[in-house]
A and B are shown apart, each in its own frame.
Chain A
Amino acid sequence: MIDIQHLSKRYGNFDALKDINLFIPEGTVFGFVGPNGAGKSTTMSILATLMLPTSGVAKVDGFDVTQHPKEVRKRIGYMPDFFGVYDQLKTTEYLHFYGASYNIPRSEREQLIPQLLELVNLSDKSDVYVDGLSRGMKQRLCLARCLIHDPKVLILDEPASGLDPRARIEMREILKELKQMGKTIIISSHILPELAEMVDEIGVIEHGEMVAQGRVSDIQARLRVKKVLHIRVMDREEELAARLQDEAMVSAVLSDNTGIHVHFSGGDVEQVQLLQNIISWGYAVISYHEAQTNLEDVFLEITKGGAAV
């Protein structure tokens, strides 16, 4: 559905994007992650036909964004990272305006708009001036606007930025619904755990380069070279901690009142071996498990060194 090949973008002599390659199949929800200034918004504006790439090709549903922008625009719903609204319009008028701008006949819009407002939970605000909506409501209204022409692809640039936790959850629920509707969604965010639940794939971009890309679980697995094992024993905890220090593949051992935390760089086989060793040494193991590394850690891991993959 989205096909990006060797995409580069220069601002003056600053490379904002360097040879980006990306393929997103139809119906996939793709999480686009990276620190500030990584080039997420740049990539998304190129896909939204708002900016020309310096080199490379970007295609949406087979249409080149620079050669057939009008066809591309028909197929995408774009939500910019920062956006404004026309204050003097009412919520329904606002949607009517964009609907008409996509050449949707009025009779169709009359039916569509209440449904969209329902979807984004703004039905009770249909006759309010857009000016009077809260930030989160505006964000949801903007999402409804993206959907008005029933695009196949949604390009959402940080749709949850600036929202409080509750509004974030609401936004996430809406996105799940859209995913169920079979839309191809590309969504950017700084906050990874938020995406983890709903995205199929993530791509991590840093300094204009894709540093990791694939299924969420794959990326997590690939980065789990260094994991944290959490061990609890009945007694002689300090003795075990000292003993583990000398084991191979153990880089650090910390012990606190919740148990022993072992930084371990081995794979599954070595992990099993270690457990067997501990038991053979005669310790009564209550629990032995891998501490949950969340996406946040993955993200920090990837973006810290650059050589993570």
Chain B
Amino acid sequence: MNWSRKWINPVLDKEFRLRMRTPRSAFSLLAYILVLGLIALGFIYITLYLGNQGNQPFNSSAGRMMFYVLSFAQLILIAFMAPALTAGVISGEREKQTLSMLLTTQQSSATIILSKLFSSLSFMTLIIVATLPIYSIVFLYGGISLKQMIFIFLFYLFVMLLLGALGVLFSTLFKRTMISVIVTYGVGLCIFLLTGILYLFAMSIVQRSYYSGPPTTGTTYSWVGYILGLNPAGALISLFEPSFSKQAFLLQNGNLSSDAPIQLWQEFVLVYSVVIIAALWISIRRIRPVARRKHSHPENGLPGVKTSTGAHS
């Protein structure tokens, strides 16, 4: 009771109640698990009856394969789910005409934004945790360590945070939920697809110039790898196989003994942490009107800080 009073602020409390009282939440949970479960069953069916007809269907390589398939499916599901759950949190209140009353309370802009993001993330975490039984099939096969699994789940959490922060940002900036959802999916698509396509494209150009140009012995890895580090799928693979980062940076015939400048997932986390912080910062500043500097108050160094966060006063 005591901890809940300390940690659960009124906005969060309200968000949790509202979220868990709508039947939609239960349905989306069911649908999500159903999709992932079907993918798992489909995979088992394929490996058992169509693919590997050998005498060892439950080997560790099949286990790893299934883990990859599930993990990618999960990543794609998250990409679809996170914007849907977050791109309406502020604009939805605006459309339901409850926002103005919320904004006249004593809750700070940061509390409102972060609580709304946190409650959406909590629900997504619940969904991800609910898929764990499906993952347990993987352990039947073996070939995956618990540590790897935990890393993958933390990575999901980060991707949800990223898409969630963007969803909240657009939900704050745009008046209409519809537009906010579309823009969030658009940006999500860029992060997921555009970076991948750009990588392949840049790689092919660099490779060509590598062969046609004068032979160089100095650099064995290329900047092109950094593009792949912006792609969630690339980062995910680098979590499975640490050597993948090296391959991403290496040109063909490069020196295999040289290390990658940075692991892809590390780059991913670094770059997008900045994006997340920026998105949340802008959301917090923009949810309430920002007062311009008043010349009569020169001591208020940062214009609008008081208005946007309400931290002082």
> Is A103 part of the contact surface with B, judged by Cβ < 8 Å?
yes
Contact (Cβ within 8 A) A86 B103: no
B-facing mask of A97-123, CB < 8 A → 1, else 0?
Answer: 110111100100000000000000000
> Is A255 part of the contact surface with B, judged by Cβ < 8 Å?
no
> Is B150 part of the contact surface with A, judged by Cβ < 8 Å?
no
Contact of A102 among B5, B106, B291 (CB under 8 A): B106
Given contacts A68-B313, A69-B313, A70-B310, contact A100 B98 (CB under 8 A): no
- The smallest C-beta distance from A76 to any residue of chain B, in angstroms, reads 7
With A and B bound together, what is the CA distance between A88 and B291 in angstroms? 34
List CB contacts (< 8 Å) of A10-60 with chain B. Answer: 45, 48-52
A-facing mask of B294-308, CB < 8 A → 1, else 0?
Answer: 100100100000110
> Is B105 part of the contact surface with A, judged by Cβ < 8 Å?
yes
Contact (Cβ within 8 A) B104 A76: yes
State the majority secondary structure of interface residues on A: loop
With A and B bound together, what is the CA distance between A48 and B21 in angstroms? 31
- Specify which chain A residues have a CB less than 8 angstroms from the CB of B102 in the assembled complex: 101
- Specify which chain A residues have a CB less than 8 angstroms from the CB of B101 in the assembled complex: 78, 80, 83, 98, 142, 145
List CB contacts (< 8 Å) of B260-313 with chain A. Answer: 288-292, 294, 297, 300, 306-307, 310, 313
- The smallest C-beta distance from B15 to any residue of chain A, in angstroms, reads 10
Contact (Cβ within 8 A) B17 A88: yes
With A and B bound together, what is the CA distance between A55 and B77 in angstroms? 49
Task: Give the interface centre of A50, A68, A69, A149 by most chain B CB atoms within 10 Å.
Answer: A69
Given contacts A89-B17, A100-B10, contact A45 B100 (CB under 8 A): yes
List CB contacts (< 8 Å) of B86-131 with chain A. Answer: 96-98, 100-107
- The smallest C-beta distance from A75 to any residue of chain B, in angstroms, reads 11
> Is A281 part of the contact surface with B, judged by Cβ < 8 Å?
no
> Is A297 part of the contact surface with B, judged by Cβ < 8 Å?
no
Given contacts A50-B100, A80-B101, contact A86 B18 (CB under 8 A): yes
Contact (Cβ within 8 A) A83 B106: no
Contact (Cβ within 8 A) A80 B97: yes
Contact (Cβ within 8 A) A84 B104: no
Contact (Cβ within 8 A) A88 B105: no
Contact (Cβ within 8 A) A101 B18: no
B-facing mask of A61-87, CB < 8 A → 1, else 0?
Answer: 000001111110110101010111110
- The smallest C-beta distance from B28 to any residue of chain A, in angstroms, reads 16
With A and B bound together, what is the CA distance between A78 and B100 in angstroms? 9
- Specify which chain B residues have a CB less than 8 angstroms from the CB of A76 in the assembled complex: 104
Contact of B289 among A51, A67, A83, A97 (CB under 8 A): A51
> Is A200 part of the contact surface with B, judged by Cβ < 8 Å?
no
Contact (Cβ within 8 A) B104 A49: yes
Contact (Cβ within 8 A) A73 B98: no
- Specify which chain A residues have a CB less than 8 angstroms from the CB of B105 in the assembled complex: 73, 98, 101-102
Given contacts A69-B307, A70-B310, A86-B18, contact A48 B291 (CB under 8 A): no
- The smallest C-beta distance from B100 to any residue of chain A, in angstroms, reads 5
Contact (Cβ within 8 A) A86 B98: yes
- Specify which chain A residues have a CB less than 8 angstroms from the CB of B13 in the assembled complex: 97, 100
Contact (Cβ within 8 A) B97 A86: no
Contact of B21 among A66, A71, A88 (CB under 8 A): A88
- The smallest C-beta distance from A68 to any residue of chain B, in angstroms, reads 5
Nearest A residue (CB) for B5: A106
Nearest B residue (CB) for A66: B291
List CB contacts (< 8 Å) of B12-28 with chain A. Answer: 13-14, 17-18, 21-22
> Is B11 part of the contact surface with A, judged by Cβ < 8 Å?
yes
Contact of B313 among A45, A50, A71, A149 (CB under 8 A): A71
List CB contacts (< 8 Å) of A267-282 with chain B. Answer: none
Task: Give the interface centre of A50, A74, A89 by most chain B CB atoms within 10 Å.
Answer: A50
Nearest B residue (CB) for A48: B104
- The smallest C-beta distance from A154 to any residue of chain B, in angstroms, reads 12
With A and B bound together, what is the CA distance between A69 and B105 in angstroms? 10
- The smallest C-beta distance from B258 to any residue of chain A, in angstroms, reads 56
Residues of B within 8 A of A (CB): 5, 9-11, 13-14, 17-18, 21-22, 96-98, 100-107, 288-292, 294, 297, 300, 306-307, 310, 313
The 4 closest A-B pairs by CB, nearest first: A100-B10, A101-B105, A84-B97, A84-B96
15 contacts between A and B (CB under 8 A): A50-B100, A67-B291, A68-B306, A70-B306, A78-B100, A78-B101, A84-B96, A88-B17, A89-B18, A93-B17, A97-B13, A98-B105, A101-B102, A101-B107, A149-B106
